[in-house]
Amino acid sequence: MIGANASMYYRLDFDRIKGVYYPTTEQEVIAAIAHARLNGLSVTPKGGGSGLSGACTGGNEERVMLSSLQMKKILRVSKERGYIDVQPGITPDKINELLQPIGMRFHMTPSSRDVATVGGLLSTDGGGNDAWFNGTMRDNTIRVKMVLYDGSRLTVDWKGVKSNDAELQDRLNKKKVTIHDVACSHGTMGFITELRLAIKPETNEPLVGAIIEFDDYDALGNFILRMIETKCPVKYSEAIVMVHEDIREDLRTPLLIMQFPEDFELGFFDSRIRRLERAELERLKDFRIKMAKRNPNTGMQVSLFEDYGFHDWNLANLQHTIDEIESVLMSHGFAPFAKYGHAPSKWYLGDNGPTYGLLMHSNEIKPEGKTGQETYRAVKDIVKKCDELGVTPKPEHKWLYSDEVKKARIQDIRRVIGRGFNPFIFEPDCASDTLSSML
């Protein structure tokens, strides 16, 4: 169970895992980390395992695995001040189940919201199909408490850091450490023990569903750009860009499925928009979710590089951008199977600047006989091509491959706080030897 994760990287050497801990309190977290430190072992934090970067595996290091799954308490709620304090192992679905009686909601809806833990969601800066409207995990986090490799405790918010170690606090505040740095650090800084999350009143705004079908990818990309420019108030918007004929059914892609307020003036929405009855909307939503769980008639579905972030130029020229990426895929023997994702959506770049566009999942058909090393070479070539095209991976999934700005920032902070958490991520050349061995 401690090795289970949603990435491609699941071939683990369990002899290198020297301890597995399921703490329930901060003191138990401190004790587990102390054991690792005294035995010269690194520490890998783990939540629900729904992430796709492979960071929660710990690579091939001799390590201690530290799970948050028994730290799932609600600590306090303030409806008036709009926050809830929780331990890191609770899920968004569970939080909202407990908030429902008081008419409040935690607005985070990743597709894995029944499994993903809030500590893991902040560590990967997870989003969801409402990130355009409600932001990513960092936008919904007010403060976070952490334990470092040396046992020091930190409280990090948007203003800076507080610590039981005054010198450490001063050094980190001189580096202007905030929640931006914890977000998407992939378990490389410390173990999160508590989060204060923003909650808002539940709304019952009447929504209507709609679908727009496009002639080609460029038309889809430019329509999404127009939605962003006009700050279109869609509450749900998913693109189905491409679907293999083995599972396409009656869909005509590319298309957008949307829900927006009933009283929204359509404005630039052209005559191609078609309103959807509730049953048809739910059918399309269900189809979108199940695409990732289906296989072609021959071969197997695999996601080599999930969440391509198209924005600005490469979104306006979506056909060319996708064609370039597919040429790399096919040169390695992989065939396109399904492309879909949140549009418009929001995510952050390595410099902590927000950007908006299409976060497209891309799944491929893997031919029989491909070795892990061959598959990883395809991943690296895709990363190189995306860098050339200005396509940015959503940090939730793959920043450790190519986001040198974020990696340099975290390494700078680790020189102050210690390097005992997930060091494999900082190996030269994108941790290639480690990750390719785990495929």
Q: What is the mean pLDDT of residues 376-385?
A: 88
Complete domains list, the chain, with CATH: 14-68+404-437 (3.30.43), 74-201 (3.30.465.10), 207-401 (3.40.462)
pLDDT at 376 over 90: no
Give the SS3 label for residue 193. strand
Look at residues 423, 426, 430 and name the one whose alpha carbon lies nearest to residue 386. Answer: 430
User: What was the pLDDT predicted at 270?
Assistant: 65
How do residues 133-188 score in pLDDT, each as one tens digit?
899 999 999 999 999 999 999 999 999 999 989 999 999 999 999 999 999 899 99
User: What was the pLDDT predicted at 113?
Assistant: 85
Q: Give the lowest-confidence range in 197-201, 377-381, 395-399.
A: 395-399
User: What was the pLDDT predicted at 253?
Assistant: 95
Do 146 and 190 contact (CB within 8 A), yes or no? yes
Q: Which residue has the higher pLDDT, 380 or 116?
A: 116
Backbone angles phi, psi at 348, to 5 degrees: -110, 145
Amino acid at 253: T
How do residues 226-282 score in pLDDT, each as one tens digit?
999 999 898 889 999 999 999 998 899 999 999 988 888 766 666 678 889 999 999
Do 195 and 189 contact (CB within 8 A), yes or no? no
Residues 6+ apart with CB under 8 A from 91: 48, 72, 113, 114, 115, 116, 117, 118
Look at residues 313, 312, 334, 310 and name the one whose alpha carbon lies nearest to residue 241. Answer: 310
User: What was the pLDDT predicted at 333?
Assistant: 94
> What whole-number percentage of the chain has pLDDT above 70?
96
> What whole-number percentage of the chain has pLDDT above 90?
65
Cβ atoms < 10 Å from Cβ of 398:
26
Q: Give the lowest-confidence range in 51-55, 123-127, 189-193.
A: 51-55
17, 47, 56, 194 from 399: Cα distances, Å: 25, 18, 14, 24
Structure-token pair, residue 261 = 């307020």
Do 334 and 367 contact (CB within 8 A), yes or no? yes
Structure-token pair, residue 67 = 């799970």
Cross-strand bridge partners of residue 347: 355
Buried b or exposed e, range 211-222, using 16+ CB within 10 angstroms: bbbbeebbbbbe
In whole angstroms, give the CA distance from residue 92 to residue 76.
16
User: What was the pLDDT predicted at 322?
Assistant: 97
